[in-house]
Structure 1
Amino acid sequence: MKNEVDSKLILAVFDKIRQNGQQADEGYLLDGVKASTDFDGYTLYLSDALVSLSFGFHNQYYFDYESQEQFEQFYKKLNNIQQQY
């Protein structure tokens, strides 16, 4: 499924999770959203229990989810993190 994303929002939320979140196994966790990178840092990953996002070089991205509602809830979480922190 294809959705338009705001790359500035994704990058800002990723940074806020790293700054304000708790360190998890392979990344950081804040308000139910996990942020991590691949080994070289070129691809960012944001995920919760139902949705995952990989965001890479040249603003290429891929979402993995089963329903539009899951995507909308995930995007709400990202916006909340952006506004709260």
Structure 2
Amino acid sequence: MKNEVDSHFILKVFEKIRQHGEQREDGYHLGGVKAFTDFDGYTVYMEDALVKLRFGFHNQYHFDYEQTEHAEAFERKLKAIDADY
């Protein structure tokens, strides 16, 4: 993934997942991505089976993945959600 994360894009996709996704006990699910927040709502989490993104206060973020291809596929999922909804 890029060194810089577009905070507006991340928050926009999170909101689209929340609005259009299926609500389950563990969060909202849409397009192969699960989205949820911590208890106070200051940290946003989005993940699939291979990548986890934590995006928090002051636009701090952390990606957790093993292979670059996984991160690229995750980014494509986020872009697809943004384009489709």
Percentage of pairs with the same residue: 65
**Whole-Å separation in 1 of the counterparts to 2:58 and 2:81:** 24
- How many residues in Structure 1 have an aligned counterpart in Structure 2? 85
2:11 maps to 11
Report what 1:23 is aligned to. Answer: 23
Match of residue 62 from structure 2: 62
Consecutive unaligned residues in structure 2, runs of 5 or more: none
Partners of 1:50 and 1:77 lie apart in 2 by 12
Normalised by the length of structure 1, the TM-score is 0.95
Give the match's secondary structure for 2:66.
Answer: coil
- TM-score of the superposition, structure 2-length normalised? 0.95
Q: CA deviation at 1:57?
A: 0.3
Q: Do 1:2 and 1:63's aligned partners in 2 also have CA atoms closer than 8 Å?
A: no
RMSD after superposition: 1.4
